[in-house]
């Protein structure tokens, strides 16, 4: 499922309406006139939709992509980031579950390395934010042992 903002939904719906009429691509000037968006904002939205593989945007023309994807709409970019963060938390938690040993322990540096350089490729800030969030939710606990620092997965 792909999550988009309300403005992205408005533009996507307009592209769907004009797509049949303009098989070679809908001119951005027509979309701008129809929607009343500033050209800069419209271009940004179209590029976001292209990144999500919902539209094809090139040469100042937009057309609907061939893929059929389920779309979920949120009110703002902030809601979108929050939803993505929640998904990153879930993905991180699943990764931790896969990495812990039989005592539900994982080395602090091993975990941080997997979060930073593994499949999730989190930034330092996002990684520490997720770890702190999991700790605040009682799912992860910091443990200090003689041989170093560890995280305990609380299940």
Question: What is the per-residue pLDDT across 58-77, written as a single tens digit (0 to 9) for each?
Answer: 999 999 888 777 776 767 66
Per-residue pLDDT band for 2 (boundaries 50, 70, 90) equals: confident
Q: Could you state, in order of their start, the residue ranges of all structural domains in the chain?
A: 2-73, 76-153
Give dist(CA 150, CA 112) in Å, integer: 11
How does strand 148-153 pair with strand 140-145?
antiparallel
Give dist(CA 73, CA 71) in Å, integer: 7
| pLDDT beyond 80 at 86 | no
Helix (H) or strand (E) segment spanning residue 26: strand 26-27
Q: Are 142 and 149 in contact (CB under 8 A)?
A: yes
Fold entry, domain 2-73: Arc Repressor Mutant, subunit A (1.10.10)
Give dist(CA 135, CA 130) in Å, integer: 8
* Fold agreement (2-73, 76-153): yes
pTM of the model: 0.54
Enumerate residues 6+ apart whose C-beta is below 8 A from 40: none
- Asked if the 76-153 domain carries CATH number 1.10.10.10, the reply is yes
In this structure, is the dihedral angle defined by the CA atoms of residues 71, 76, 82 and 88, taken in order, positive or negative? Answer: positive
Q: Are 141 and 151 in contact (CB under 8 A)?
A: yes
How does strand 140-145 pair with strand 55-58?
unpaired
Neighbours of 150 (CB within 10 A): 21
| pLDDT beyond 80 at 127 | yes
Per-residue pLDDT band for 120 (boundaries 50, 70, 90) equals: confident
What region, left, alpha or beta, does residue 36 occupy, with left being phi > 0 and alpha being psi -120 to 50 degrees? Answer: left
What is the average pLDDT across 20-29?
91
């Amino acid at each position: 499922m792909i999550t988009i903002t309300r403005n992205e939904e408005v533009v996507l719906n307009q592209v769907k309406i004009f797509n049949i009429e303009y098989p070679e691509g809908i001119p951005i000037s027509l979309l701008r006139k129809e929607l009343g968006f500033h050209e800069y904002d419209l271009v940004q939205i179209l590029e976001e939709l292209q990144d999500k593989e919902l539209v094809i945007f090139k040469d100042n023309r937009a057309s609907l992509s061939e893929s059929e994807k389920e779309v979920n709409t949120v009110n703002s970019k902030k809601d979108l980031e929050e939803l993505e963060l929640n998904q990153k938390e879930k993905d991180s938690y699943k990764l931790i579950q896969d990495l812990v040993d039989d005592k539900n322990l994982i080395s602090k540096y091993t975990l941080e390395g997997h979060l930073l350089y593994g499949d999730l490729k989190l930034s330092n800030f996002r990684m520490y934010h997720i770890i702190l969030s999991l700790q605040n939710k009682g799912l992860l606990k910091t443990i200090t042992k003689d041989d170093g620092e560890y995280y305990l997965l609380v299940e």
